Amino acid sequence: MTKQADVVVIGGGITGTAILHELAKYDLQAVLVEQEPELAAGTTKANSAILHAGFDAPTGSMKARMNVEGNAMYHELKDELDLDIRWSGSYVAAVTDEEMDVLQDLLQRGQANGVPGLKIVTGDEVRAEEPNVSKDIKGALWAPTAGICWPFGLALAFAENAVINGAEVLRDCKVTGIVTEQGAVKAVETEQGTIETSFVINAAGVHADEISRLAGDDSFAIHPRKGEYILFDKTAQKDLVYSPIFPTPTKMGKGILVCATTHGNVFVGPNAQDMDDTEKDNTAVTIPGMNEILEKARKLVPTIPVGAAITEFAGVRAVSSTGDFILGPSAVVKGLVQAAGIQSPGLTSAPAIAKYLVEPIAAALKAARKANYKKGRPAQPCFRMLADADQKALIAKDARYGRVICRCETITEGEIVDAIHRPVGARTVDGVKRRTRAGMGRCQGGFCGPRVTQILARELQIPVTEVRKEMRESYMFYNKETRSGGKA
């Protein structure tokens, strides 16, 4: 395959999909390439899911600017793209006088960054809203513009809107090379063929430095930092929190927090472990890590119900050698645009990063905004949230909505089939899970997993042995003729 595109985006996480969404507003051909079979398979699927207010990043940094702008943009995008966001606000809690001084510093920094509504509240005021937090909390910084979200859903919404506006998403499409001539980008070589292009936007997460070197730019490095989490059953929320509760930050990050999700669960984490550069894809959880998370989370909320834990997971953050986001044209290769080092607050910053990078590219290509640009994306049915009459009407229209596949979350076959056939449809078991919540309940897919696998095989018209859990080689079943089997 050889094809042409005006712009190629490398990386299908929140940053890459937001960039594709922004590109799709212009009269140009944009293609996103992602090496895994699902979008958002890296850091985007395993982070704290918080839309930060913007008081933490150093004033004047790209992190600070993009955070505050991105937060404001999400307030508008929520309705336009039907994003799963709850504007909960957030607290940074202090338990010592020294930490109270840190809150004053954060308040002043946030005000300098342009964050609205910040104020310091007393411990009693925090406990009035969050009765389960520690009696030792002396006060907290309250940020009303912060929120919680479903990161995979945000990335998927960006990608779906882009696709219905003419952009293309290529998955299972690993980049193998970048062709340059006389110091300028000419093409991207992938496992699916060559894409001739004038611009490449490097949004490859923890692998962004490797992609940059393929084009001849080795001006920065990305170092992996792993963070582990524990997720609790929905029944635990009454014993925990409604809003994100942070400790005062350290040089390693925002610290181990206690936070609700938009789906009604609660999690604690992450810790911060600097990893060797060979371990960029190491998302294993550890017993010492779990113990560390619980110990520090209990300083904020003493009554952590360990028995309600349903899963543990980890994500790897892309820490840049510059200490800030790396955004803009490469100084070495013409046509190479960097969106690298996107650690926290990258999720919040994504739409602002996209606008910042795309506007000059569109100007260089003399691309006008599309007159027929379509806002939004196809509605996604959620059977369990419908009124009885609407459920009956949906079943009458399509009987598959009458068959419950996931009992924990009441997810129907109709919803799973819809998830597979959406503009950027599910291709794996975890892809179905993150689009529908099938497998996210108490049993973690023990009941519905085999049934979801069967539906995927049927709808994708592939053998059941070709169905994958999530990643390129994570096949659900052993097949001695094609592989050694079962790599997770």
**Domains, the chain, ordered by start:** 1-85+148-221+321-377 (3.50.50.60), 90-144+223-315 (3.30.9.10), 383-466 (1.10.10)
Instruction: Confirm if 230 and 312 have CB atoms less than 8 A apart.
Output: yes
pLDDT at 487: 43
pLDDT (tens digit per residue) in 299-333: 999 999 999 999 999 999 999 999 999 999 999 99
Distance CA 305, CA 457 (A): 38
pLDDT (tens digit per residue) in 127-147: 999 999 999 999 999 999 999
pLDDT at 1: 77
What mean pLDDT comes out for the span 374-384?
92
pLDDT at 459: 97
| Nearest Cα to Cα of residue 160 among 370, 379, 339 | 379
pLDDT at 480: 60
pLDDT (tens digit per residue) in 180-190: 999 999 999 99
pLDDT (tens digit per residue) in 337-354: 999 999 999 999 999 999
Q: How much of the chain exceeds pLDDT 70, in percent?
A: 97
pLDDT at 488: 40
Distance CA 471, CA 326 (A): 27
pLDDT at 262: 94
Instruction: Confirm if 70 and 348 have CB atoms less than 8 A apart.
Output: yes
pLDDT at 240: 92
pLDDT at 113: 98
> What's the mean per-residue pLDDT of the chain?
94
What's the burial of 385, exposed, middle or buried (CB within 10 Å: 0-12/13-18/19+)? exposed
The CA angle 111-340-179, to the nearest 5 degrees, is 150
Q: What global pTM score does this model have? A: 0.95
Q: Which amino acid is at 336?
A: L
Q: How much of the chain exceeds pLDDT 90, in percent?
A: 91
Catalytic residue list: 52
**Residue 486, pLDDT above cutoff 50:** no
